[in-house]
Amino acid sequence: MSGFRYERTPIDEETGRERVGSFGLILQPYTREEAVLEGQRCLQCAMPFCVQACPITQDCRGYLGLIAQRRFDDAARLTLLDNPLATVLCKCCYHYCEEDCVMGGRGTPIAIRHLKRAALELGRSDLVYVPSAPRTERIAVIGAGPAGLMAAWELGLRGYPVTVYEQAAFLGGQVETIPRYHLEGTELRRDLDRFRDLDITFVTGKRAGEAFTPESLLKDGYRAVYVAIGASDPRALGIPGENLPGVFPALPFLLSVNEGPDGLFGRKNRRVVVIGGGDVALDAARSAIRLTNGGDVTVVYRRTREEMPAGAEEVDEGGEEGLRFLFERAPIEIVGDDQVRGIVVRSVRPGPADARGRPTTVEVAGSDETLPCDTVLVAVGERADIAALPAELDLSPSRHPWPEGKRPDWMTDVEGVFASGGKSVVYAMAAGSKAAEAIDAYLAKKDGRNPLPRPDPFGGGGTAPGPPKGYGGPTWTL
């Protein structure tokens, strides 16, 4: 047999019991030797499926090869060359690359995301991005989540002056709601530190639709506007009792947990029910079990475990931490007086497919049961809050919960205004990158010049290298 090592160099992690009551990072970093060992497992494939699966075509094959040669400084630089939010992503990316790594066919995929962390933590990552010659066309970005930040980076590198308007007091959008056991909270600041020489101005506490509109920004002299407002308006359950004290939407709850030691509901509550089956529901439930020091936390989901949209890793780890799961149950009513006392749920069974062939569910009459609880966390999805934005833009969500321009380059119905977003941090970054290219192409066409390719982000002259040799085109769509 060959000398391939099919199994991953183990990553130290806290046990389920250690994790309860602690918001410390679960995954511990590789040592230098462990990182080199894992990097050396990479086959350096001529056709790098890992790169093709990465929405921002991060040259992961490249940095794995450099780590294998112990060249950590070079690995950090290569990582940051096409990934300006790498410090965030090295801990929280859903690592689409690893799903397509060929080593997964026989053993465990290379720990591509964890080695990105090794590159940045063991190599020199306090680098600074260098803008090209300044341009005069001002561009506005609305929303400082990963999509808006990536667009600002792309445009700032090309020399455009960019103003990012953000309604919140902080930057990062939904990244700020990611629990501390995945992301410590200082990562985004370290990434944005590298932006300091780009001509990007951040204006926080300014909400589009109130202080200004995309059209008013165009009138104020911005040549293009990118609307990157994401989807963080919580959907309601639409059942009686939803307004009782003790019922919280998951996003504000998660944000409050990250902001203060006791979160929105303090540590006094012990019996929590979380409604939903996605990653946000799991984040809320796993945060609640930490906050209540191993309290009674039940996740209620209307379909089966196999159908849960949450990642298997999250569900497994949540189980190790003591979460209880109740599948095939629908919430019917939240009961209580001056506080939640319980939630009534009803059994649900698979029903016939609907007209479009999608599986449906039917509620089983007479199967109601009341789960005693004092807190209900609602995580049944989010949508964009576009109520205050002008209807002429036609930002109504279509394929996705976030607003997207309906033209192929994501221009909206108003010329010069673009809109998009993404289902995860790296997908949102890819959307921001494409939007920036579209804005640059739009301005180039208007001004009768060629579009500007992404320059070398570290000012080496020429253009950025782009996807590595062997790259065969993306395997994903936004």
Residue numbers of the site for ligand FAD (CB under 6 A)? 92-94, 142-148, 165-168, 173-175, 177-178, 182, 207-209, 228-230, 232, 251, 254, 279-280, 283, 385, 402, 421-426, 428
Closest separation between CB of residue 182 and ligand FAD, Å? Answer: 5
Nearer residue to ligand FAD within complex by CB, 78 or 229: 229
Sign of CA dihedral 284, 286, 290, 295: positive
Closest separation between CB of residue 219 and ligand FAD, Å? Answer: 17
**Using CB distances below 5 to 8 A depending on partner kind, what does residue 323 bind out of ligand FAD, ligand SF4, none?**
none
CB 225 within 8 A of CB 418: yes
Which of 440, 474, 463, 427 is CA-nearest to residue 150? Answer: 427
**Using CB distances below 5 to 8 A depending on partner kind, what does residue 187 bind out of ligand FAD, ligand SF4, none?**
none
Closest separation between CB of residue 363 and ligand FAD, Å? Answer: 28
Q: Which of 20, 36, 60, 188 binds ligand SF4 (CB under 6 A)?
A: 60
Nearer residue to ligand FAD within complex by CB, 63 or 402: 402
**Taking CB under 6 A as the criterion, which residues in 115-134 touch ligand SF4?**
116
**Using CB distances below 5 to 8 A depending on partner kind, what does residue 232 bind out of ligand SF4, ligand FAD, none?**
ligand FAD
Return the range that interacts with ligand SF4 (CB under 6 A); candidates 17-25, 99-107, 233-241, 410-418. Answer: 99-107
Q: How far apart are CA 476 and CA 434, in angstroms?
A: 14
Q: Under the criterion CB under 6 A, does residue 379 sit at the interface with ligand SF4?
A: no
For helices 279-291 and 312-320, what crossing angle results, to 10°?
A: 20
**Using CB distances below 5 to 8 A depending on partner kind, what does residue 64 bind out of ligand SF4, ligand FAD, none?**
ligand SF4
Q: Which of 140, 147, 345, 426 binds ligand SF4 (CB under 6 A)?
A: 426
Closest separation between CB of residue 395 and ligand FAD, Å? Answer: 10
Nearer residue to ligand SF4 within complex by CB, 249 or 432: 432
Closest separation between CB of residue 231 and ligand FAD, Å? Answer: 6
Q: Which of 19, 113, 271, 286 binds ligand SF4 (CB under 6 A)?
A: 113
Q: Which of 102, 127, 130, 441 binds ligand SF4 (CB under 6 A)?
A: 102
Here's the x/- map for ligand SF4, 390-409, by CB under 6 A: it reads as: --------------------
Phi first, then psi: give them for residue 155, nearest 5 degrees: -75, -40
Q: Under the criterion CB under 6 A, does residue 478 sit at the interface with ligand SF4?
A: no
Return the range that interacts with ligand SF4 (CB under 6 A); candidates 39-47, 296-304, 363-371, 433-441. Answer: 39-47
Tokens, residue 146:
């990963």
Which of 293, 306, 388, 374 is CA-nearest to residue 334? Answer: 374
Cα angle value 126/131/135 (rounded, 5°): 160
Q: Which of 35, 36, 39, 49 binds ligand SF4 (CB under 6 A)?
A: 49
Q: Under the criterion CB under 6 A, does residue 42 sit at the interface with ligand SF4?
A: yes
Return the range that interacts with ligand SF4 (CB under 6 A); candidates 112-120, 124-132, 365-373, 456-464. Answer: 112-120
**Using CB distances below 5 to 8 A depending on partner kind, what does residue 148 bind out of ligand FAD, ligand SF4, none?**
ligand FAD
Interacting residues with ligand SF4 (CB under 6 A): 42-45, 48-50, 54, 58, 60-61, 64, 89, 93, 95-97, 101-103, 110, 112-113, 116, 426
